[in-house]
Amino acid sequence: MTTVEKTRLYLDRIAEKAALNAFLEVYPDEALAQAAEVDRRIAAGQAGPLAGKVVGVKDVISHAGHKLTAGSKMLQGYTAPYSATAVERLLAADAVIIGRQNCDEFAMGSSNENSAYGPALNAADESRVPGGSSGGSAVALQADLCDLSLGSDTGGSVRQPAAFTGTYGLKPTYGRISRWGLVAYGSSFDCIGPLGKSLEDLALLLEVLAGADEHDSTSSSQPTAPYRAQLAATPERPLRFGILRQALDAGDDALHPTVRTALTQKMEALKAAGHSVEVYDFPLLDYILPTYYILTMAEASSNLSRYDGVRYGYRTPNPANLEDMYKRTRAEGFGREVKRRILLGNFVLSADYYDAYFTKAQRVRRLIQQANDQLLQRFDALLTPVAPGPAWQLGQKRTNPIEMFLADIFTVQANLTGQPAVAFPAGQADGLPIGLQLMGHPFQEGALLQAARVVEGV
Ligand code: GLN
């Protein structure tokens, strides 16, 4: 099949599956023109590594000349003036970008229900959420609307929707992929991450996207690696897996029994295959979510102060004066969850509470990082669930933010520490996809993907 034929096929499927609301916009003419150019390059033997691949991009990643809304009314009508480094690298590798994908507003959420443009739906059961915040990016793969997606992961937003849709997602090491052009949520946590239909897809995308970038001072200059070749190789020795005791011991209300069974079956199979599997304890587990939410809300309240009605997107009509314009623009432009986080973020950063919340949370983050470093001395990778259960019903957790936050218990650790983590399918619970997660060593994504291949294969 030529790239043009494939692009047409995907455009047709996106139209057919419009009810899933995975894409907020598609670029038919541009995608077909790019596909024709890619086919010419393939014929001329000059094709880049993503030639023939059709990619969707989460609507928080800038693509010059294209709309960028971050799932928010606040950025309605805003056009990105420049491209994210990740998008430039996609295009330089001969990808076809087919459209921008639905997500929670400013990437805040775990269900895609916080999108100002309506939720994306889980293709396995349309009464259920696809996970979030990169819900559209995951559903697009689940429903076969494109080959690969680009998401972002601040606390699990690539991995959890991957698990809810039976697809694959990688949160690389913090700084491995440039954040230039990514709409900021919690800048010390944010990572652009690939989603795909296989571990090979993740390795391929990472190979294209990884590497230093002068536009992002937090991007790492650590050398990148041939991730696909590393994934294809077999480990030279048996691997050492750690399994979280708290996950094994959790009651049925905290962890779906089928998720626990998936974990214990893998544990036994890995042992039988000659790998070492040891249960580890993480006493700081209870502090992970409060630390994550205090710090990300603080960073978000600062990052989102730029949306003032002056410089970007939405501005309230007919304000009485400047202050009224600021207030009404922000009151009308932001949704409930984003407002809640801005308020809480400002609270934990306020003079009277700064030390009690923000400074303390930073200290706890350091303790979590130290505990994690010690664990990584004993293990090649840590195996946990991605989420406590499969996708829930639309509306089920919407009115209870704490319950929604609790669903992130297994994913936020890797964002607090900065280490890479991969989510891969691990069967079904109640007829819905579930996933397992492996967390690995910083800047060792190749070894992590290889370990995931081992876990998948046993
Ligand atoms: N659910 C988490 C949150 O709402 C993670 C979001 C993300 O990774 N962007 O913050």
Residue 424 near residue 435 (C-beta atoms within 8 A): yes
Catalytic residue status for 133: yes
What number does CATH give the domain 3-231? Answer: 3.90.1300.10
Catalytic residue status for 127: no
In whole angstroms, give the CA distance from residue 424 to residue 141. 13
Pick the atom of ligand 1 nearest to 296's CA. 10
Q: Of 111, 133, 149, 301, which one is the catalytic site residue?
A: 133
Q: Of 72, 115, 149, 157, which one is the catalytic site residue?
A: 157
**What are the beta bridge partners of residue 210?**
177
Pick the atom of ligand 1 nearest to 152's CA. 9
**Residue 115: what pLDDT?**
98
Tokens read off for 116: 């100002």
**Residue 400: what pLDDT?**
87
Question: Residue 343: which H helix or E strand, with range?
Answer: helix 336-349
Tokens read off for 259: 């998720």
Pocket perturbation via mutation, ligand 1, pick of 154, 292, 338, 403 by most ligand atoms within 8 A of CB:
154
What does the domain layout of the chain look like in residue ranges?
Answer: 3-231
In whole angstroms, give the CA distance from residue 392 to residue 161. 12
Residue 130 CB burial class (10 angstroms; 0-12, 13-18, ≥19): buried
**Residue 403: what pLDDT?**
86
Catalytic residue status for 157: yes
Residue 156 CA to ligand 1 centre (angstroms)? 6
Residue 283 near residue 298 (C-beta atoms within 8 A): no
User: Left (φ > 0), alpha (ψ -120 to 50) or beta: where does 443 sit?
Assistant: left
In whole angstroms, give the CA distance from residue 115 to residue 112. 6
Residue 74 CA to ligand 1 centre (angstroms)? 19
Tens-of-pLDDT digits for all 458 residues of the chain?
999 999 999 999 999 999 999 999 999 999 999 999 999 999 999 999 999 999 999 999 999 999 999 999 999 999 999 999 999 999 999 999 999 999 999 999 999 999 999 999 999 999 999 999 999 999 999 999 999 999 999 999 999 999 999 999 999 999 999 999 999 999 999 999 999 999 999 999 999 999 999 999 999 999 999 999 999 999 999 999 999 999 999 999 899 999 999 999 999 999 999 999 999 999 999 999 999 999 999 999 999 999 999 988 899 999 999 999 999 999 999 999 999 999 999 999 999 999 999 999 999 999 999 999 999 999 999 999 999 999 999 999 988 888 888 899 999 999 999 999 999 999 999 999 999 999 999 999 999 999 999 999 99
Strand order across the 191-196 sheet: 23-26, 96-101, 54-58, 148-153, 191-196, 168-171, 421-429, 432-439, 381-385, 240-244, 276-280
Q: Of 53, 58, 197, 397, which one is the catalytic site residue?
A: 58
Pocket perturbation via mutation, ligand 1, pick of 102, 296, 402 by most ligand atoms within 8 A of CB:
296
**What are the beta bridge partners of residue 194?**
150
In whole angstroms, give the CA distance from residue 246 to residue 242. 12
Residue 170 CA to ligand 1 centre (angstroms)? 15
Residue 307 near residue 73 (C-beta atoms within 8 A): no
Q: Report yes or no on whether pTM surpasses 0.85.
A: yes
Residue 263 CA to ligand 1 centre (angstroms)? 24
Pick the atom of ligand 1 nearest to 293's CA. 10
In whole angstroms, give the CA distance from residue 418 to residue 398. 28
Residue 42 CA to ligand 1 centre (angstroms)? 39
Pick the atom of ligand 1 nearest to 157's CA. 8
Pick the atom of ligand 1 nearest to 408's CA. 1
All residues at 6 or more sequence positions from 192 whose CB lies less than 8 Å from its CB, including other chains = 61, 84, 86, 150, 151, 152, 153, 172, 177, 178, 179, 182, 209
User: Left (φ > 0), alpha (ψ -120 to 50) or beta: where does 120 sit?
Assistant: beta
Q: Which residues line ligand 1 (CB under 6 A)?
A: 107-110, 133, 152-157, 185, 296, 408
Residue 322 CA to ligand 1 centre (angstroms)? 33
**Residue 312: what pLDDT?**
85
Find, among 151, 133, 156, the residue nearest to 141 by Cα.
151
Pick the atom of ligand 1 nearest to 153's CA. 8
What residue owns the CA closest to ligand 1's atom 4? 109
What residue owns the CA closest to ligand 1's atom 5? 155
Residue found by looking up tokens 């840590």 in the block:
382
Residue 72 CA to ligand 1 centre (angstroms)? 15
Find, among 276, 278, 267, 330, the residue nearest to 304 by Cα.
330
Give the phi and the psi of residue 207 in degrees, each rounded to 5. Answer: -60, -40
Residue 386 CA to ligand 1 centre (angstroms)? 13
Pocket perturbation via mutation, ligand 1, pick of 103, 114, 157, 171 by most ligand atoms within 8 A of CB:
157
Give the phi and the psi of residue 154 in degrees, each rounded to 5. Answer: -105, -30
**Residue 70: what pLDDT?**
98
